[in-house]
């Protein structure tokens, strides 16, 4: 097995562990395949020197585009993997579907929500399990 294959497998296992641990901490979380609005999302993890968080998009193509952009900014990223359910909020409290922001865990979603509040001065309601 090549180093890149092993690294990819390690990142996938890490994302799965994070998702499982979050569901175990949050008894309100639906189980795998039981997303509230249907349809699996694709998630990757972004790592900086300061933090790591998952980010999820409704298609593999959107996930890969976000992952490439993060990599271009010098962040370490994992491969995109299919995840359901995901935890989401509305960026800037904008109700438009395009403003939905999702993560593989409640903790990661709340981190993005705090970042949104810091950048925009307003954010959506608390993260909720969807999709």
Of 111, 98, 107, the residue nearest 129 (C-alpha): 107
Instruction: Judge residue 8's burial from the number of C-beta atoms within 10 Å of its C-beta, 0-12 exposed, 13-18 middle, 19 or more buried.
Output: middle
Q: Tokens 């271009």 label which residue?
A: 72
- CA 65-70-71 angle, to 5 degrees, is 95
- When the pLDDT of each residue in the chain is averaged and rounded to a whole number, the result is 80
- In 11-125, beta strands by DSSP E: 41-47, 52-57, 76-77, 81-83, 86-90, 100-103
Mean pLDDT to the nearest integer, 60-77:
96
- 39: domain range? 3-130
- Among 15-19, 29-33, 77-81, 104-108, the range scoring the smallest mean pLDDT is 15-19
> pTM here?
0.71
Q: pLDDT for 19-58, tens place per residue?
A: 444 444 444 554 544 444 457 899 999 999 999 999 999 9
More confident residue, 78 or 39: 78
Q: According to the model, what pLDDT value does residue 38 have?
A: 57
The total of structural domains in the chain comes to: 1
Mean pLDDT to the nearest integer, 57-67:
96
d(CA 53, CA 94): 22
């Amino acid at each position: 097995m090549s180093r890149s294959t092993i690294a990819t497998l390690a990142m996938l296992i890490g994302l799965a562990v994070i998702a499982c641990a979050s569901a175990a901490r949050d008894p309100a979380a639906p189980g795998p395949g039981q997303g509230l609005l249907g349809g699996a999302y694709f998630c990757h993890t972004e790592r900086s020197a300061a933090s790591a968080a998952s980010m999820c998009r409704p298609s593999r193509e959107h996930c890969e585009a976000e992952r490439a952009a993060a990599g271009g900014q010098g962040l370490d990223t994992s491969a995109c993997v299919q995840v359901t359910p995901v935890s989401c909020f509305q960026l800037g409290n904008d109700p438009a579907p395009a403003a939905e922001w999702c993560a593989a865990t409640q903790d990661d979603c709340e981190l993005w929500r705090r970042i949104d509040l810091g950048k925009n001065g307003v954010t959506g309601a608390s993260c909720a399990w969807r999709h």
